[in-house]
Amino acid sequence: MAEEAKWYVVHTYSGYENAVSAAILKAAENRKMTDLIREVNIPMETVTEYTDAGEKTVERKVFPGYVLVKMIMTDESWHLVRNVRGATGFVGSDGKAVPLTEQEIINLGVERQEIVVGYTIGDRVKVSDGPLAGFYGVVDELEPEKDRVRVVVSMFGRETPVDLELDQVEVIKE
C-alpha cells in the first residue's frame, strides 16, 4: 500500500450528511477497511444568529449535501462509499472521483499543517520567500492561528511593517 490517502468529496441527500458519515465509518470498520478509509469530515462553521429571542451561536454545515472522505481509492473503497445509504456518488467528472488539491484542503481547513515557529516577537529574522526574500527585519507581531507574522523591514532607509506567512521567515542564527 504505497499509495497515499487523499480527500474526496461525496455528494449526499440533503440532511443525510451525519448519517452518511457514520455509515461510511461503520461499514469500513465492519469490512476491515479502515486502512483504506481513514477519516470522514463534515466541514462546519460557527455562526451567530440574531432572532427575536436575542442572539445565539449555532454550528452549521459549510457545504450542505456534501461529506469529505480521506481514503485510498480502490475498487473496494469506491464501492463501499458509493453504496452507503444516502450517498449519491463522488464529485468528479465522467463518474470518476477527483481528489481535492492541497490548496483546497488548506482553504477548507480540513487538515491543519502544524508550523513550528522558531522565533518570537523582537527576534531578528530574514525573509526567505516572496518578493522581499533576502531582507532582514524584526518580528513585530505573531499570529500562528492565522499563519501570519508581521516583520518590520528596513527598506530605502525607512522602517516598513510587512505581513508574511509563518514559513516565509527564518530566524537568523548568530
**Domain extents in the chain:** 6-108, 124-171
The CATH superfamily label for domain 6-108 reads NusG, N-terminal domain (3.30.70.940)
**Per-residue pLDDT at 1:** 44
CATH of domain 124-171: 2.30.30.30
pTM: 0.61
**Per-residue pLDDT at 72:** 92
**Per-residue pLDDT at 50:** 83
**Per-residue pLDDT at 174:** 63
**Per-residue pLDDT at 21:** 94
**Kind plus residue range of the DSSP H or E element containing 55:** strand 54-61
**Per-residue pLDDT at 46:** 81
Partners of 11 in the β-ladder:
66, 89
CA distance linking residue 23 with residue 30, whole number of Å: 10
**Per-residue pLDDT at 53:** 82
CB of 172 closer than 8 Å to CB of 124: yes
CB of 59 closer than 8 Å to CB of 44: yes
pLDDT digits (tens), the chain, 174 positions = 447 889 999 999 989 999 999 999 999 999 999 899 999 999 888 888 888 888 888 888 888 999 999 999 999 999 999 999 999 989 988 778 889 888 888 777 666 555 667 888 899 999 988 888 999 999 999 887 777 899 999 888 899 999 998 888 888 876
3-state SS assignment for residue 82: helix
What is the 8-class DSSP label of residue 47?
E
CA dihedral 119, 122, 124, 128 (to 10 degrees): 50
Residue in this structure with the C-alpha cell 485510498, named with its chain if needed = 72
Cα→Cα distances 119→70, 114, 144, 155, Å: 33, 15, 11, 22
CA dihedral 31, 32, 37, 42 (to 10 degrees): 70
Amino acid at the residue 114: E
